Amino acid sequence: MENEITIDGTICIEPQEIISPSGIPHRQWTMQHQSERFEEVGLRRKVWLRLAVLVSGQELVNETKDCTLGTNVRCTGFISAHKSRKGDTQLILHAQKVEIVEFNDEEEDK
């Protein structure tokens, strides 16, 4: 089974650095994605979502230091569900590659 996603978006909640109980450094933020897609029947559909992003390990944490509130990013990784203390389930993108990108109108209309 495959579980890999690449998604573009803008960081909309300030990144936070955390250390797991096992001592692994993480950096997490929320990104907002907006695009317009063609559906199967030829109609355009607006897509909007917010997605939690988590990078793990000192190397990736260091590589994402320039990713701050308002930064446009392209993240590639895998999706996993995490349960909050309240019992809510949230999808999280465990990013294994993060690039800072510039969006233009053409890209946003894809």
pLDDT tens by residue, 64-97: 999 999 999 999 999 999 888 888 899 999 999 9
Average pLDDT along the chain: 91
Separation between Cα atoms, residue 6 and residue 35, nearest integer Å: 14
Per-residue confidence at 34, pLDDT binned at 50, 70, 90?
very high
Report the alpha-carbon distance of residue 30 to residue 91 in Å, rounded: 11
Query: Which has more pLDDT, 38 or 78?
Result: 78
CATH topology of domain 5-100: OB fold (Dihydrolipoamide Acetyltransferase, E2P) (2.40.50)
Dig out the tokens for 7 from the structure: 């998604």
- Which residue's structure tokens are 């897509």? 47
Q: State pTM to two decimals.
A: 0.85
Provide mean pLDDT across the span 22-41: 91
How many Cβ atoms sit within 10 Å of the Cβ of residue 61?
18
Lookup: tokens for 8: 């573009």
Annotated domain spans of the chain: 5-100
**Residue with structure tokens 């955390």?**
18
